[in-house]
């Protein structure tokens, strides 16, 4: 199976944005146009896009659905996120035409909800694990603080098929992935994506060597990472 390099497109008020300590801020790359960025990534040959509605995650309103739908219309599979922690929010995001949706870490407080979602959505569901050290700590308007080990123990008893492990302190840093907890999740035998700080071929190699099926690349993809070359290397490997 080819290692997937998946660019991230973060949206706020219909424009490109990125997360800072003070919340979402505008991004100037591609003139701030998410569709222009997405089209460039598709032209580079990416296998999938990861699109985040930051307004849903931090404000509770899914204001970027039309733009997400426009990205989906470009014709590549889209994994959509936005701190969704209810079934209604997940289905709202899936209504854009995205083929996968990430349930936010805050939902992990409700075991019955997550188990039911895994049963009903199958491979369309991705479990978001936002990691600060060995703790799961959701960002956005809903907060949790959970043990990774304890949470994984029950999650691996459900039909969950895929995890997205985000090193929260590395997001936007370009400083490389947090590899401390990633192997523990991979050892569970499910498919795992990594995110947070991934910016160079060396970072991608480290994530791949750890056993992840792919990596989400955010800021670096917008700032000129040579995606065609990296995609060729991934295919050859």
Q: What pLDDT shows up at residue 24?
A: 86
Q: How far is CA 124 from CA 50, 67, 99, in A?
A: 13, 20, 6
Q: Who's near 178: CB < 8 A, 6+ residues apart?
A: 131, 167, 169, 170, 196, 197
Q: What pLDDT shows up at residue 70?
A: 98
Helix, strand, coil shares, percent, the chain, to 5: 40, 25, 35
Calpha distance 6→58 (Å, rounded): 23
Which tens digit of pLDDT belongs to each residue from 203-231?
A: 999 999 999 999 999 999 999 889 998 88
pTM of the model: 0.95
Q: What pLDDT shows up at residue 154?
A: 97
| Partners of 8 in the β-ladder | 50
**Which helix H or strand E contains 229, and what residues bound it?**
helix 227-236
Q: Which 8-state DSSP code applies to residue 167?
A: E
Residue ranges of the chain whose pLDDT lies below 50: none
Residues 207 and 183 sit within 8 Å (Cβ to Cβ): no
Calpha distance 157→111 (Å, rounded): 11
Helices 227-236 and 201-210, packing angle to 10 deg: 30
From the list 3, 1, 43, 23, the residue with the least C-alpha distance to 221 is 43
Q: What pLDDT shows up at residue 20?
A: 79
Residue in the structure block whose two tokens are 């492990």: 165
Q: What pLDDT shows up at residue 231?
A: 87
Calpha distance 89→69 (Å, rounded): 15
From the list 200, 209, 198, the residue with the least C-alpha distance to 237 is 209
Q: What pLDDT shows up at residue 19?
A: 84
Calpha distance 228→237 (Å, rounded): 14
Q: Following CA atoms 210, 215, 218, 221 in sequence, which dihedral angle do they give, to the nearest 10 degrees?
A: 100
From the list 204, 161, 156, the residue with the least C-alpha distance to 179 is 204
């Amino acid at each position: 199976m080819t290692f997937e390099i998946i660019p991230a497109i973060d949206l706020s008020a219909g424009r490109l944005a990125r997360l800072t300590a003070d919340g979402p801020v505008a991004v100037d790359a591609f003139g701030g146009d998410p569709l222009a960025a997405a089209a460039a990534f598709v032209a580079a040959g990416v296998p999938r896009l990861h699109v985040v509605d930051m307004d849903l995650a931090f404000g509770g309103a899914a204001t970027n659905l039309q733009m997400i739908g426009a990205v989906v219309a470009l014709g590549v599979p889209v994994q959509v996120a936005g701190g969704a922690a209810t079934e209604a929010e997940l289905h709202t995001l899936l209504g854009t035409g995205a083929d996968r949706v990430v349930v936010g870490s805050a939902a992990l407080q409700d075991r019955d909800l997550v188990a039911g979602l895994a049963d009903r959505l199958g491979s369309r569901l991705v479990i978001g694990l936002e990691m600060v050290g060995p703790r799961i700590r959701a960002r956005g308007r809903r907060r949790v603080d959970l043990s990774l080990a304890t949470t994984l123990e029950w999650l691996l008893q459900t039909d969950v098929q895929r995890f997205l492990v985000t090193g929260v302190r590395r997001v936007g840093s370009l400083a490389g992935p947090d590899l401390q907890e990633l192997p523990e999740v991979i050892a569970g035998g499910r498919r795992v994506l990594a995110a947070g700080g991934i910016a160079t071929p060396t970072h991608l190699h480290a994530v791949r060597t750890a056993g992840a099926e792919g990596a989400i690349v955010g800021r670096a993809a917008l700032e000129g990472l040579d995606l065609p070359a990296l995609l060729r290397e991934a295919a050859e490997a």
